[in-house]
Amino acid sequence: MRDKVNLLMNDQKVASSKRWTLKDLAKTLDAKLVGEADQTVAGFATLEHAMPGQISFLANASFESQLAKTQATAVIIHPRHTDMCPVSALIVDNPYLTYAKASHLFDVSPVAPAVIHPSAVIHPQAIVAANVAVGANVIIEEDVEIAAGAVIGPGCVVGANSVVGANTRLHANVTLYHRVIIGENCIVHSGVVLGGDGFGFANEDGKWQKIAQLGGVTIGNFVDIGANTTIDRGAIENTLIGDHVILDNQIQIAHNVEIGEGTAIAGCTGIAGSTKIGKYCTIAGAVGIAGHLQICDGVHITMRSAITRSITESGSYSSGTAMSRTQEWRKNAARFRQLDGIVKRIRTLERALKKL
């Protein structure tokens, strides 16, 4: 056993995969081939660690110096790197996009067979299409609908009246409450909880009276949701995630949030209740967005920012302070607490000087 572990511990290479000729790859990826058409590759690698028989790519100028030394059999490059490439080249306008497409050709992830595991507990009134994979210990409740091509990973719970669209995949141990609607071609990672109660309470004499969360969660098509992310159900209407939204791990989306088409959000970000986020926004990691705000289309927010007001113009927004050595930071942080007084001292100086 330990030998296998040690082997894998030192194994920086991906498992070998289907073997492709460069000719076939170039055709599939719509690339111009410069090199030997019948060479084959059977796995992706970085320029630095590639071995003969693997393919790599160059999409970022900071890795240019690695191109000359690469051991890869072929590299996906931009035309401007043709002369610098010491091995066969697949030449395309957007190497990163071509890498994205090519990556799937070398993916050796296990494919779930389209069968229903005998241990799955499926309510007789649930509708499960013919070619759906349902893993071990899955629970599918009343009036659920699972469309063709969907994969429900082991240990998932799909609550009553929920819908999983065609070709959508729930990885292992995902929890959907009741009335959670997921569109087609989505990927939902393990530990995700969709449709938990929004955090709504009214205070009565110091005691919190829970507000029943009557809405659901509605998720569009081509949505990706990262591990352990949570999206709460709406208080009255639904929480809404638009098509082509991509969400990283451990994001918290509160009740009645709406996220517009194509917006991308990085890990650990939290969005408070009823905030509406526009289309094609890019929100970095660990950002906090207060409730009841409107963020317009095309906004970028840098990592760990706190957003406390609506944003009505596209552009990039930030908050926080830059990092320093703790010793210096302590002094400056202490001064931050005097800032208003500091400005008053400056004003006094300005007046005094004016008099002179």
In the region spanning residues 173 to 192, those forming contacts with its own copies, defined by CB under 8 A, are 173, 175, 177-179, 181, 183-184, 187, 189-191
Does residue 334 touch its own copies according to CB under 8 A? yes
Give the C-alpha separation, 226 to 249, whole Å: 4
Give the C-alpha separation, 175 to 340, whole Å: 49
Which residues contact residue 228 at a Cβ distance below 8 angstroms, ignoring those fewer than 6 apart? 189, 190, 191, 192, 249, 250
- Shortest distance (Å) from residue 314 CB to its own copies: 11
Two tokens at 343? 């400005």
Smaller CB separation from its own copies, 11 or 37 = 11
Does residue 11 touch its own copies according to CB under 8 A? yes
Smaller CB separation from its own copies, 89 or 299 = 299
Smaller CB separation from its own copies, 15 or 37 = 15
- Shortest distance (Å) from residue 122 CB to its own copies: 10
Amino acid at 87: V
With CB under 8 A as the contact rule, which of the stretches 26-34, 67-75, 81-89, 240-248 interacts with its own copies? 240-248
What is the β-pairing status of strands 207-210 and 157-158?
unpaired
Q: Is 292 a catalytic residue?
A: no
Active-site residue (options: 171, 189, 255, 300): 255
What angle is formed at CA 218 by the lines to CA 179 and CA 143, rounded to 5 degrees?
A: 25
Give the C-alpha separation, 54 to 194, whole Å: 39
Does residue 200 touch its own copies according to CB under 8 A? yes
Mask for 127-146, x = binds its own copies (CB under 8 A): x-x-----xxx-x-xx--x-
Does residue 202 touch its own copies according to CB under 8 A? yes
Does residue 206 touch its own copies according to CB under 8 A? yes
- Shortest distance (Å) from residue 149 CB to its own copies: 11
What is the β-pairing status of strands 264-265 and 246-247?
parallel
Give the C-alpha separation, 341 to 109, whole Å: 60
- Shortest distance (Å) from residue 68 CB to its own copies: 20
With CB under 8 A as the contact rule, which of the stretches 18-26, 29-37, 72-80, 154-162 interacts with its own copies? 154-162
Amino acid at 299: V
Q: Are 116 and 96 in contact (CB under 8 A)?
A: no
Amino acid at 318: S
Two tokens at 349? 């100086």
With CB under 8 A as the contact rule, which of the stretches 18-26, 72-80, 81-89, 153-161 interacts with its own copies? 153-161
With CB under 8 A as the contact rule, which of the stretches 20-28, 74-82, 85-93, 238-246 interacts with its own copies? 238-246
| Secondary structure element (H or E) that encloses residue 280, with its range | none
Does residue 290 touch its own copies according to CB under 8 A? yes
Does residue 106 touch its own copies according to CB under 8 A? yes
Judged by CB under 8 A, which of 85, 222, 277, 283 binds its own copies?
Answer: 222
Kindly list the strands in the beta sheet with 288-289, ordered across the sheet, starting from the edge strand earlier in the chain.
121-122, 139-140, 157-158, 175-176, 193-196, 230-232, 252-253, 270-271, 288-289, 306-307
Q: Tell which positions 61-100 bind its own copies, by CB under 8 A.
A: 94, 96-97, 99-100
> Residue 213 in 3-state DSSP?
coil
Distance of CA 74 to the CA centre of its chain: 29
- For the annotated catalytic residues, the residue numbers are 255
